[in-house]
Copies of this chain bind each other. A is one copy, B any other.
Amino acid sequence: MTETSAIAQGAARRTANGKSRTRIQLRNRERILQAALQVFSQYGFRGATLDQIAGESGLSKPNLLYYFPSKEAMHQDLLQALLTAWLDPLRALDASGDPLEEILAYVKRKLELARDYPRESRLFANEILQGAPRILPILETDLRALVDETAETIRGWCAAGRLAPVDPVHLIFSIWALTQHYADFQVQVTAVLGQDNPFEAAEAHLETLFRRLLTPG
């Protein structure tokens, strides 16, 4: 189990009300969140059990509940950490940069996220599949605002003839769909390809796809 480079760090050095955390707390919260991520991302919230998470983390079940008040709290922590990491690359899209290269860079960054954090991607997919009961408000406000803003940028690029005309929001959906597919449907992809690392070919394919879609003229 790799502990390096986790998106969801339970390792905030201070708790919500300011108390500092011990070395042991830091280590164990992280172990629990990693185990919870593993289990939640595979079975969804309802399908996951504390016993599975306990087994995966190597801690006893009551010990989990010493660090987290409930199963729900673990899931919340994971989702919250995920959402910021998930949306950041979209924020990084620079309106003053070269349109095509900006978008291709975003595609590449998103595909790298899918490659390096497939469990996080599947956790998110599970939440959406279940109707997003815990993050729907965020989707309708924060995410929607961010997408609207980005769409406006893209619309500007199209209007200026620097990008082939395209529906900006559906373009964003396409980027999400294509990149997340390689994480969420990894089992299917590798089953069909009969090989383990589709990401190199995927990157080349997606660059071709978006270049042809968006190159003006």
Q: Which residues in A have some Cβ–Cβ distance to B below 8 Å?
A: 41-48, 122, 125-126, 128-132, 136, 139-140, 143-144, 147, 164, 166-167, 169-171, 173-174, 176-178, 180-182, 184-185, 187-189, 191-194, 198, 201-202, 204-205, 208-209, 212-213
Interface of A is mostly: helix
In the complex the two chains form, is A205's CB within 8 Å of B45's CB? no
Task: List 15 extra interface pairs beyond A45-B47, A177-B177, A177-B180, CB under 8 A.
Answer: A44-B47, A44-B126, A44-B129, A125-B129, A128-B184, A128-B185, A140-B194, A144-B191, A170-B198, A173-B181, A173-B182, A176-B181, A177-B178, A177-B181, A209-B213
Q: Whole-angstrom distance between the alpha carbons of A201 and B172 in the complex?
A: 13
* Given A43-B44, A173-B189, A177-B181, also A204-B128 (CB < 8 A): no
29 A-B residue pairs with CB within 8 Å: A42-B129, A43-B130, A44-B46, A47-B47, A47-B130, A122-B129, A125-B125, A125-B184, A128-B185, A128-B187, A132-B191, A136-B191, A139-B188, A139-B191, A139-B192, A143-B191, A144-B191, A144-B192, A167-B201, A171-B205, A173-B182, A173-B202, A174-B178, A174-B209, A177-B180, A177-B185, A209-B209, A212-B212, A212-B213
Q: Taking A129-B122, A205-B174 as contacts, is the C-beta distance between A193 and B181 under 8 angstroms?
A: no
Q: Give the distance in Å from the alpha carbon of A16 to the alpha carbon of B198 in the complex.
A: 40
A188 near B128 with CB under 8 A, answer yes
Q: Which residues of B contact A169 (CB under 8 A)?
A: 192-193
Chain B residues with Cβ below 8 Å from A185 are 125, 128, 176-177
